[in-house]
Amino acid sequence: MRSAFGTTFDVPLGYLNTASIGVPPTPVASVVADAVRRWSVGGDSPDAVDAQVSTARNAFGRLVGVPGERVAMGASVSQLVALVAAGLPADASVLVARGDFTSLTFPFAARGLRVTEVELDEIASAAGAHDLVAVSVVQSANGRIVDLEGLRAAGVPVLLDASQAVGWLPLELEWADWVVAAGYKFLMAPRGCAWLACSPSALERTVPVAANWFGNEDPWSAVYGLPLRLASDARRLDLSPVWLSQFGAAASLPYLASLDMTAVRDHGVALADAVLTGLGLPARGSAIVSLDLPSAGERLAAAGVRSSVRAGRVRLAFHLYNTVEDVDLVLKALD
């Protein structure tokens, strides 16, 4: 058991795979376990999760700097990005970073829109020639951070995928048109929850293609019959919630939102950079790093390090629960 940032984590030495699956604080895991127990005996009513949905929604808003009423709740990044893609004209041009995560880029390609890939460093300078920029704040494959200030100054609509950033990187993204993120990585919630923050003008251009009863102003008054009646705020885009995921998110996200995110960033970045400098590589200032070293994945696995391979390189990710012991284990394995 590890103690960090005011809570405990039942995470083993060498777990450096948060960019794939975040490990919850033990109190969050207990909340989900209790929800499973209530489910197993029919102990919850259908509206039992409504308060948790609201709690998680507002906490996500605090983490990205957007009011809660401008945050929609869904199940995955691709499902929420598809709402944005559906609102674009058929001839729209979308700019993306080469090699970005496909849950962000595929919804635009599947709609038949003109999608252009450029290198991450070229995103801001190339933005002006396109109708939308869709890019991850932190690249999944290698932890590189996009030039947010350059994008903000570009003056074109922007969709940011914060899935690999929110939970460790301080974010103030109210200026962006859309901000999407999944909950099961650095937010340490169960898989099956995601959020989409919208600016007021962007909300008007976002299509509720999965419109359902939960997107109503008062969901429980809209379970039967027409006409269509959806909420006036971002809740109009909501999916019916994945219950167990929302119980976990309502415990994890407020905890994260209560932390000093600068301290969280400094903690993870210091550990990641310590691995790089220990290997004779330059520091990169990100909590996610990728390594192109012979047999690195096999050597790390043999030493008990949990990592992943992305784009042909070993990826390590550091979060609240990691310590210098994890760094030492990596360096010893790769010595």
Shared domain check, 285 and 196:
no
The whole-number pLDDT of residue 243 equals 96
Give per-residue pLDDT as tens, 17-32.
999 999 999 999 999 9
CA-CA distances (angstroms) from residue 242 to 75, 93, 162?
7, 33, 21
Q: What is the mean pLDDT of residues 175-186?
A: 98
Residue 147 scores a pLDDT above 90: yes
DSSP E strands: which ranges in the chain? 2-4, 7-9, 71-74, 93-97, 114-118, 132-136, 158-161, 178-182, 194-198, 288-291, 308-310, 313-317
Q: Is residue 44 situated within a structural domain?
A: no
Residue 80 scores a pLDDT above 90: yes
The whole-number pLDDT of residue 98 equals 98
Give the tokens for residue 248.
């976990």
Q: Is residue 188 situated within a structural domain?
A: yes
Shared domain check, 286 and 251:
no
pTM here? 0.97
Whole-number Å distance between alpha carbons of 187 and 185: 5
Shared domain check, 126 and 91:
yes
Give per-residue pLDDT as tens, 210-266.
999 999 999 999 899 999 999 999 999 999 999 999 999 999 999 999 999 999 999
Q: Is residue 38 situated within a structural domain?
A: no
Q: Is residue 247 situated within a structural domain?
A: yes
Q: Which of 257, 281, 311 is the last residue of a domain?
A: 257
DSSP class per residue in 116-136: EEE-GGGHHHHGGGSSEEEEE
Q: Which of 208, 241, 257 is the last residue of a domain?
A: 257
Shared domain check, 238 and 92:
yes
Shared domain check, 198 and 130:
yes
CA-CA distances (angstroms) from residue 102 to 139, 160, 277?
11, 13, 31
Q: Which of 229, 257, 285 is the last residue of a domain?
A: 257
Q: Is residue 32 situated within a structural domain?
A: no
The whole-number pLDDT of residue 212 equals 97
Give per-residue pLDDT as tens, 308-333.
999 889 999 999 999 999 999 999 99
Domain that holds residue 83: 50-257
Shared domain check, 160 and 283:
no
Q: What is the CATH number of the domain that holds 78?
A: 3.40.640.10
Q: What is the CATH number of the domain that holds 312?
A: 3.90.1150.10
The whole-number pLDDT of residue 28 equals 98
Shared domain check, 181 and 127:
yes
Q: How many CB atoms lie within 10 A of CB 236?
A: 18
Q: Is residue 280 situated within a structural domain?
A: yes
Whole-number Å distance between alpha carbons of 6 and 320: 10
Whole-number Å distance between alpha carbons of 17 and 22: 7
Q: What is the mean pLDDT of residues 279-308?
A: 95
Shared domain check, 221 and 317:
no
Shared domain check, 140 and 280:
no
Shared domain check, 76 and 12:
no
The whole-number pLDDT of residue 247 equals 98
The one-letter code for the residue type at 5 is: F
Shared domain check, 173 and 79:
yes
Angle at 131 (CA atoms; ends 311, 235), nearest 5 degrees: 85
The whole-number pLDDT of residue 240 equals 96
The whole-number pLDDT of residue 335 equals 86
Residue 294 scores a pLDDT above 90: no
The one-letter code for the residue type at 33 is: A
Domain count, the chain: 2
Q: What is the mean pLDDT of residues 188-197?
A: 98
Q: Is residue 21 situated within a structural domain?
A: yes
DSSP E strands: which ranges in 84-233? 93-97, 114-118, 132-136, 158-161, 178-182, 194-198
Q: Is residue 33 situated within a structural domain?
A: no
Whole-number Å distance between alpha carbons of 240 and 183: 16
CA-CA distances (angstroms) from residue 48 to 38, 72, 211?
11, 19, 21
Shared domain check, 207 and 156:
yes
